[in-house]
Amino acid sequence: MPNIKSAIKRVKTNENAKAQNIQVKSSMRTAVKKTEAAIANNDTVASETFVDAASKLDKAASKGLIHKNAAARKKSRLAKKINSLNA
């Protein structure tokens, strides 16, 4: 544990930021999994869950939790799967 006051504060803020990052990343993964499950079950809610997943992916990319190209790639793959359902 640090002794300097500013270092103690940094440890606290880093812990808070880490907790927030974990929460955002977890909700992103959950949204993607829900979308993939809906696609696998041929659900009608697949497109609705895709909108939520795309939003969460964009939010994670904007916060720097995942790379913007990784978010774009995941969205593209999900969209491709959904479009194959409708065709």
The pair of structure tokens assigned to 68 is: 């913007």
pLDDT band for position 1 (cuts 50, 70, 90): confident
pLDDT band for position 10 (cuts 50, 70, 90): very high
Query: Computed from CA positions of residues 20, 59, 86, 44, in that sequence, does the dihedral angle turn out positive or negative?
Result: positive
Share of the chain above pLDDT 70, in %: 99
Alpha-carbon distance values, 11 to 1, 23, 64, 66 (Å): 9, 18, 20, 23
Averaged pLDDT, 41-49? 90
CATH number of the structural domain spanning residue 59? 1.20.58.110
85 pLDDT more than 90: no
Domain count along the chain? 1
Domain of 39, in residue numbers: 5-86
Looking at residue 86, its pLDDT comes to 75
**Is the pTM of the predicted complex or chain greater than 0.85?**
yes
